[in-house]
Amino acid sequence: MKKLLEKYSAKLVSAGLAEAGNPLLGGLDADLEWNREDPAIPVLEKVFSGLSINSLLFSLPAEPYRSIIDFLASGEVSCIRPEDSETRTFMHDLPVVRDFTSDTIIEKLRKRKSVIIKGKGIVTWGTVSPEQAFIFYSSVCFACFVKFFSDYLRDSRRGEVSPEQDRVLKKALKHIDKYPDKPPELMSGPFKSREDVYRAVAQAGRQTVKHRLVDSFFGNVSLRWGETLFITQTTSSLDELEGCIDPCPMDGSACTSITASSEFSAHMGILRLTGMDAILHGHPKFSVIMSMNCRQENCAARGSCHIRCPEKRFIGDVPIVPGEVGTGPYGLCNTLPPSMKNNRGVIVWGHGLFTVSEGDFNSAFRNLLSIEKMCQKECLKLLERT
């Protein structure tokens, strides 16, 4: 257990979500263990006693997340309500409290996956492994980043930016991700064996995480080889895909897709319609922020933009479409494939970016990176005008 706790502490630091020496993780196996000593442990041990969990994470976020979260949690705020897809689907909202006490933390974590302690950090939990706590913490940071920049763009259009909001923005801009000029070289197709396919999918996932084009485990990767679609399993971490890739016959003759990504049907639709072989889906921050940047203040679809946006919108040459995970009338399997045809990528409103390529992942990764860089550049241009 100790090695597992140290592993996810290191992942928080390498992802830029926390500073070294800050994450405090506890895990319950035969005994309750911690990755390090800390004065907060007595309070968190009581939280373990009050909840049916096996892991707990408490950490002060690194910049820019720290300043952003402090701003969003300022004043009398008791809850932060981001509108990105991840939060809507998995987190719902982000409770905020002032007191670092076991009773207060237990009360909030009985109903939610996280609680923000003003000025002190974020507490998240896991029922299976510390990985869940890492995922929830990552999601809080992502959601708050997206909300802050989305709110700033909206408020700047309205002429309502506050001095404190402006101060936090200037500080946050010093810490935003700097993407490389060139994408990494990935394995080249055509692939000669299943082993090569598995290696190519795992490599693409690792590089997507390494370049911070996805947060926690919410992206997915797939590759068609012959008449089989090799796709990442639901809830799999993209930087640890070995053993988490499902081979799914394109004709549906096997039930292996039961554990595949929740966006399996969208992947199948995209490949059938475009004739491509590889799909990369990440959640790059600025692609998500720009997808939510809409000037239609009085739109009848306001509040359900993520599934019913009626506008034909683009960032540069890249279309933005609504859609939700699943196969319902507003499901991504219906909204995404038609827009992907003849485009280098598609951004789903508040959700993330999908790219495709033929034979291997090189073109898909190149487009994933270049589209996110374009969205970051466009966002910064808008911010400079305010």
CATH code for the domain of 156:
3.40.225.10
Strand ranges, E, within 99-227: 114-117, 121-126, 220-225
What does the pLDDT read at residue 263? 78
Q: Are residues 160 and 203 in the same domain?
A: no
Q: Are residues 304 and 377 in the same domain?
A: yes
Q: Is residue 187 part of a domain?
A: no
Q: What is the pLDDT of residues 237-264, one digit of tens each?
A: 888 999 999 999 887 766 555 666 677 8
Token pair listed for 71: 């701003």
Choice between 114 and 327, residue whose per-residue pLDDT is larger? 114
Q: Is residue 30 part of a domain?
A: yes
> How distant is the alpha carbon of residue 208 from its chain centre?
12
Decide: helix, strand or coil at residue 346: strand
What does the pLDDT read at residue 264? 83
Q: Is residue 345 part of a domain?
A: yes
Angstrom distance (rounded) from CA 37 to CA 151: 38
What does the pLDDT read at residue 304? 66
Q: Are residues 153 and 221 in the same domain?
A: no
Residue 175 CA: distances (Å) to CA of 12, 67, 98, 208, 294 = 16, 11, 26, 20, 25
The total domain count for the chain is: 2
Residue 141 CA: distances (Å) to CA of 57, 128, 236, 295, 344 = 14, 22, 19, 26, 28
Kindly indicate the confidence band of residue 325, based on its pLDDT and cuts at 50, 70 and 90.
Answer: confident
Q: Is residue 182 part of a domain?
A: no
Q: Are residues 220 and 306 in the same domain?
A: yes
Q: Range of 368's domain? A: 194-384
What does the pLDDT read at residue 328? 75
Q: What is the pLDDT of residues 174-208, one digit of tens each?
A: 999 889 889 999 999 899 999 999 999 999 999 99
Q: Is residue 184 part of a domain?
A: no
Token pair listed for 340: 């992907």
Q: Are residues 212 and 70 in the same domain?
A: no
Q: What is the pLDDT of residues 350-373, one digit of tens each?
A: 889 999 999 999 999 999 999 999
> Cβ(133)–Cβ(55) under 8 Å?
yes
Residue 305 has pLDDT above 70, yes or no: no
* DSSP conformation class of 46: H
Q: Is residue 186 part of a domain?
A: no
What does the pLDDT read at residue 177? 85
Q: Is residue 307 part of a domain?
A: yes
Q: Are residues 136 and 234 in the same domain?
A: no
Radius of gyration of the chain (CA): 21
Q: Is residue 347 part of a domain?
A: yes
Residue that is last in its domain, among 144, 173, 202: 173
What does the pLDDT read at residue 84? 85
Q: Are residues 162 and 215 in the same domain?
A: no
Token pair listed for 11: 């992942």
Decide: helix, strand or coil at residue 294: coil
Q: What is the pLDDT of residues 31-85, one digit of tens each?
A: 899 999 999 999 999 999 999 999 999 999 999 999 999 999 998 899 999 988 8
Tokens 């096997």: give the residue.
Answer: 254
Q: Are residues 158 and 272 in the same domain?
A: no
Q: Are residues 166 and 227 in the same domain?
A: no
Half-sphere exposure in the Cβ direction for 152 (13 Å, CA): 28
What does the pLDDT read at residue 297? 75
Q: Are residues 145 and 234 in the same domain?
A: no
Mean per-residue pLDDT of the chain: 90
Token pair listed for 80: 């932060």
Angstrom distance (rounded) from CA 183 to CA 276: 20
Q: Are residues 160 and 54 in the same domain?
A: yes
Q: Which amino acid is at 302?
A: R
Q: Are residues 89 and 119 in the same domain?
A: yes
